[in-house]
Structure 1
Amino acid sequence: MSKRRRKRKKHWFDTQVGSLVFVNLLGIGAITLFNAYYSFGTMLFKVSLASAATDFFRSEIVFNGLFLIVWNGYVLIRYLVKKYRK
């Protein structure tokens, strides 16, 4: 007797776009924790909250923007190379 295999349900992270969004969110989360540690950690040395928050938001924009541009550019280049290689 042959057993029928159940068709596996496709999850959102099984697609290329879903996995790209997941990696983007994971990277942004890691960068946010890193920036929060180094921006608000200076408050132990008598730096004001306003100055720490300003540093945090500026570094968030720079580092997260740079991460998204570089990572998504890398993924786009890999996709195009794979597409035209076939």
Structure 2
Amino acid sequence: MRADVQRVLFERPELRQYIRQHPIWYRKLTRDPSQIPALEKEANQFYGRTLPQRVEKVQNSLGLVMMMMEMLKMNQSTNSVESQGPVQ
């Protein structure tokens, strides 16, 4: 593998780890070192760093927070009804 490709992999440990998990990239980069941007793009998709994947993560987190808030509201309303005592 060329020294410039090795330098890029040394500077970016996540790419180095991705290549270890997907060894086909050793061959691709040895034959065509200009494939580094394609490697970065594929690694970003693998690690969930693309914009659509990030938006989906935020949506899932917001959904979870909203569900927790609804559960707290229901719990508080149940506790307030219980604290008023029996209806006469």
TM-score, with length taken from structure 2: 0.40
TM-score, with length taken from structure 1: 0.41
Q: Which has the larger radius of gyration?
A: 2
Ranked by relative contact order (alpha carbons within 8 Å, sequence separation 6 or more), the top structure is: 1
